[in-house]
Amino acid sequence: LGPAKTRVRACALDGTLLAEGTGSRPEAADTVRKVLDALPAGAPLRAVVVAVGDVTTRDREGAGERPATAKAGPVFDAMAVALPEGVPVHLENNVNCAALAELHEGAAVGRETFGYLRIGVGIGLAVVIGGRVLRGANGAAGEVARLPYPWDDDRAPRHEGLEQRMGARTLLRRAAEAWRDGDGPRPRTAERLLALSGQGHATARAVVDAHAADVGRLAAAVAAVLDPGLIVLGGGTGADPQLLPGVRAELARLSWPTEVVSSVVGDTGTVAGASRLAVAHGIQTVTGAVRAKH
C-alpha cells in the first residue's frame, strides 16, 4: 500500500509469479479482487503480507481486526473486504520489504549485512543483519525520522523534524527559494527537479547536490551506529545516481569507509519483498499444518 499506488502480486509457494496488478491507493480492494480472480480456480490462499508505510507491531488473523498502524487504517480495511475469511494477514514496514528485495535480487545480493536508506516523500531505514531484517522491540528499528533534529543550542528538536527537512516537500521548497529569473519554469515535483539536474540545469544541480550532502550526513549517522559496510540508497529521490557522489563524499568526510550504491529494484522493490515474505509465511502455514496432523 504505497502513498499513491497499490501493487499486488500473487505467487505460488515456490515463488512463481501467478498474477499481479497495480491501481491507485483508493482502488486497493478492486486491485486485490482482480489479482485473486486471476488465480487458478480452487487455489488456496495461504498467507497475505501487506507492506505499509508505518511501524508495525503485530500480525492480524482474519479480516475482522484492525491493523497495527494508523496510516494504513481505512484503505487497509477496504482492501481486507476483498480477502477470503480466515487467511493470516501479516503487516510489514514497506522499507523492510524493499530491503528484502535488494538482498535477494538487487544491489545487496551476496551481502548479508547492510542498511537500506530510503529517501523520498519521507525517509526510512531498513537494517539487515545476517540476512534478516532487524525489527526491534517495537517493530520500529530504522525509524530515522525520529532522530533528534535540529540539535543545537538555539533550537530544540522537533517531532520527526529530520523527515521534515529531508522529505520531498522541503526539497521542492528549497528549489523554489533558489530558483532565479531565467531558470525557466520552477519544478513542481522531485522527479522534475532531478530531471533538470541531470540535463545540466545549474540551479537544479546545486539544490540536488545540497540534498545529497544532507543524505550523506544521515548515512554517516547510520554508519556510526551500525557499521553496515554497505548502504543502499532507495526511494523516489534517493535512488537517483546523481546523489551518489555527494553522499559518498560527505559520508567519507564524517565517518569511516562505507560502500554506498543506488537501488536497482526500482518501484517494484516493496511488493517484491512483500511477496517473498508471503511465500515464507505460506510455507510455514502448510508445514505447520502437516506437523499438527502427525
Note whether 132 and 46 are same-domain residues: no
> Do 251 and 111 reside in the same domain of the chain?
yes
pLDDT tens, position by position, 208-244: 999 999 999 999 999 999 999 999 999 999 999 999 9
Q: What is the CATH number of the domain that holds 196?
A: 3.30.420.40
Question: Domain check: are 213 and 127 in the same one?
Answer: yes
The yes-or-no verdict on residue 4 having pLDDT over 90 is no
Domain coverage including residue 18: 5-94+271-293
H-state helical runs in the chain: 28-37, 73-80, 94-105, 161-166, 168-178, 190-198, 202-226, 244-254, 269-293
Which neighbouring-strand residues pair with 133? 128
Entry pTM: 0.88
100, part of any domain: no
87: amino acid identity, one letter? V
Residue range 25-65, pLDDT digits in tens: 889 889 999 999 999 888 889 999 999 887 665 444 443 34
Percent of the chain with pLDDT over 70: 90
Q: Are 158 and 221 in a shared domain?
A: yes
Say what the pLDDT of residue 57 is.
55
Which amino acid is residue 154, in one-letter code? D
- Residue at 247 is within a domain: yes
- Nearest CA to 15 among 75, 82, 100? 100
